[in-house]
Amino acid sequence: MSVESPAASALIEIAKATVIAIALSVGINAFVLQVVDVRQSSMETTLEEGDRLVLSKVDYRFQSPHRGDIIVFRPPPPACAAESTNCVPFVKRVIAIAGDRIDLRDGKVYLNDVALNERYARSPTAPEGDSVRYPYVVPADAVFVLGDNRPVSGDSRSWGAVPMPNILGKAYVDFWPLQHAKWLVP
């Protein structure tokens, strides 16, 4: 019969606790919450490059995105080559959901023929490129997204709607740097 020393018992307990902590951390990061960095200026002044967000990965498993949600997603082609594995996730605001009709005219966004009051938008909104024709109806299982800093934002104006499988989650909190900390729920 072997008797463990108190030091060996303590090391075993520390090792067990470390393994459990790592497993919980990996599980939470993979399935529940994730911290993401804002790497573009397309959401200024709501979010700035370098901000850090807490992203919920479970919301859209139980419900669809809502207009006004700030989401993180894998950009669809042509924003990111289909075969690329190192595309930086984009952060944008959901403007329209499946079945909604979007029109861009006179520097404004019209949702189902009603002009939106977008106090968060940095400047007038103009169509980008010719791949999206207006009025545009958002297809099933997709959302139409725009950045708040419209002049520099690559968004649905360029490539159309974002498919639901591309959405990584909903941003809830901007927590870093502390002077930018705020809730992001509309």
Closest C-alpha among 106, 87, 89 to residue 47: 89
Single-letter amino acid, residue 24: L
Neighbours of 69 (CB within 10 A): 24
Any idea which residue has 């902590």 for tokens? 21
Q: What is the dihedral of CA 180, 54, 93, 145, to 10 degrees?
A: 140
Instruction: List, as one string, the DSSP characters of 61-110.
Output: HHS---TT-EEEEPPPTTTS-TT-S-PPPEEEEEEEETT-EEEEETTEEE
Instruction: Give how far Cα 125 sits from Cα of 117, 130, 136, 138, Å.
Output: 12, 15, 15, 18
pTM attached to this predicted model:
0.79
Active site residues: 42, 92
Which percentage of the chain shows pLDDT scores above 90?
27
- Domain 32-183 homologous superfamily, CATH: Umud Fragment, subunit A (2.10.109.10)
- Cα(6)–Cα(8) distance, integer angstroms: 6
As given in the structure block, the two tokens for residue 148 are 């708040």
- Give the pLDDT mean for 86-100: 90
pLDDT in tens, 6-57: 777 778 878 777 777 777 667 666 666 677 888 887 888 888 888 888 888 8
55, amino acid identity: L
Residue-wise pLDDT tens digits, 44-59: 888 888 888 888 888 7
State the pLDDT confidence band at 2, using cuts at 50, 70 and 90: low
Q: pLDDT class for 101, splitting at 50, 70, 90?
A: very high
Of 74-88, 111-125, 145-159, minimum mean pLDDT range:
74-88
pLDDT category at 181 given cuts 50, 70, 90 is confident
pLDDT value of position 19: 76
SS3 158: helix
**Model confidence band, residue 71 (pLDDT cutoffs 50, 70, 90):** very high
Average pLDDT in the chain: 83
pLDDT surpasses 60 at 1: no
Residue 186: predicted pLDDT: 63
Rounded distance between C-alpha atoms, residue 23 and residue 79, angstroms:
34
